[in-house]
Amino acid sequence: MLNALIPLVALSIGIYLAFSRRLAGSTSWQATLTPLASIMGSGFLVSAPLLAGVVGSLAVVCMAALLALAYLIGAAIRFNIRHFEPIERDGHGPAQAVASLSRLVLAGAYFISISYYLELLAAFLVRTLGITEPMAPTLVSSALLIAIGSIGIWRGLEELGRVEKYAVALNLGMIVALLVALTVYNVKLFAGGDWSLPGLSSDIDWHDARVLLGLLIVVQGFEASSYLGDEFPPEQRIATMRAAQVLSTIIYLTFIALATVLFHDGLGADVTAIIGMVGPVALVLPMLLTIAAIGSQFSAAVADTEAAGGLIEDISAHRIPERSAYLLILLVTLALTWETNVNRIITYASRAFAFYYLLQCGVAFLVAWSDGSIEGRRWKLVGFAIAGVLAALVFALGIPSE
């Protein structure tokens, strides 16, 4: 039954999201979809096995902590959308200087995330094809980087970017189908008296805590709302970014709670372990998850390449055209791919985005400090300071799950 239900649910949701005229005409949905798709993209694939390998049955609690940190940082970015964007171009004060530095850091973070997405794609593809050659993932991700970079330099990435809509729809459809399948599986186990939590160690030592800090990337992506200013007004971006974070929190916690029954020894270091982990639920799940993983990671890599190119053009005051920026992106991401593996790139991406978040919290703190008219100013200053310190800890202490 599940083998028939899962593809039906995935396709139904995916087709509706991709072709619904009602959703296509809703600016609120479009403004919500961008950060939601970023948050749910790669993190949904790697979060369960990585958390299982580090903290065992405490995975739900630790995921809740990561999501709470992300929401706290998101509050600082939403504050900046409302209070800093209107004055960003008006002066050269400390907040403007920190914001300019944060844009440079974000460009670097995009370089790392592009490598991360394609290394993850390559890991899933190589596992599905049964290739055991150690260099295969690096060669696959390098070939994809060269292809994307060459197309960007030659013709731009607008045409490739159009596939993002369909990849996002497929990925969200697959997530819903997986949640349905896991719910049915848990209910069946409970009804048969076979439901029990795995007997994995859930003690968290200092090393485990540092690995958890290195997993911030699994809930990253909400900051995308900051860069939709040409498409949506500030208040709509603030509301839809908050909605995306709340919805992703519900989905993540539900998923981890339902998947905990599948945890077993050996999870953690293998980022593709979810493929084998969900095998007992339904035969079709591993293949469908692989297809969704390949599509979502490719579209995410294209989107971040395009975003990084535009950011470099903007930072350079258009002295570096976007297509020329793709050459720089290609060279840097190739170097990253050959110098890292997928576990290390996850931590590097977390630390890069944590540095960007630290700077954004700094901007929010400086703006709130200088404007005594802001409502709830003291509490906001405390919140921004705490978020900044936590982001600094991720940047300084995060390590790979190897």
**How many angstroms separate the Cα of 17 from the Cα of each of 22, 39, 59, 166, 377?**
10, 17, 30, 8, 40
| pLDDT recorded at residue 15 | 94
State the CB neighbour count (10 A cutoff) for residue 302: 25
- C-alpha 96/C-alpha 206 separation (Å) is 37
Q: Please report whether residue 94 resides in a domain.
A: no
Nearest to 386 by CA among 356, 365, 355: 365
- Tens of pLDDT along the chain (402 residues) come to 788 899 999 999 999 998 999 998 999 998 998 888 888 877 888 888 888 888 888 899 999 999 999 999 999 999 999 999 888 877 668 899 999 999 999 999 999 999 999 999 999 999 888 888 989 999 999 999 999 999 988 888 877 767 778 888 888 999 999 999 999 999 999 998 888 877 766 678 888 888 888 888 888 889 888 888 778 999 999 999 999 999 999 999 999 999 999 888 777 667 788 888 888 899 999 888 888 888 888 888 888 888 888 888 888 888 888 888 899 999 999 999 999 888 888 888 889 999 999 999 999 999 999 988 899 999 999 999 999 999 999 999 988 766
Tally of helices (H runs) and strands (E runs) in the chain? 16, 0
Q: Please report whether residue 205 resides in a domain.
A: yes
Q: Please report whether residue 93 resides in a domain.
A: no
Q: How far apart are the first and last CA of the chain?
A: 38
| pLDDT recorded at residue 402 | 61
**Are the beta carbons of 52 and 200 closer than 8 angstroms?**
yes
DSSP state of 81: I
**How many angstroms separate the Cα of 179 from the Cα of each of 44, 129, 191, 253, 377?**
11, 26, 18, 11, 40
| pLDDT recorded at residue 201 | 66
Q: Please report whether residue 46 resides in a domain.
A: yes
Q: Please report whether residue 96 resides in a domain.
A: no
Q: Please report whether residue 190 resides in a domain.
A: yes
Q: Please report whether residue 319 resides in a domain.
A: yes
Task: Determine the structural domain holding residue 169 and report its residue range.
Answer: 2-88+109-397
**Are the beta carbons of 395 and 355 closer than 8 angstroms?**
yes
CATH number of domain containing 78? 1.20.1740.10
What does the chain come to in residues? 402
- C-alpha 61/C-alpha 83 separation (Å) is 33
Cβ burial of 337 (10 Å; 0-12, 13-18, 19+) is buried
**Are the beta carbons of 72 and 386 closer than 8 angstroms?**
yes
- C-alpha 215/C-alpha 388 separation (Å) is 17
Structural domain count of the chain: 1
Q: Which amino acid is at 237?
A: R
Q: Please report whether residue 39 resides in a domain.
A: yes
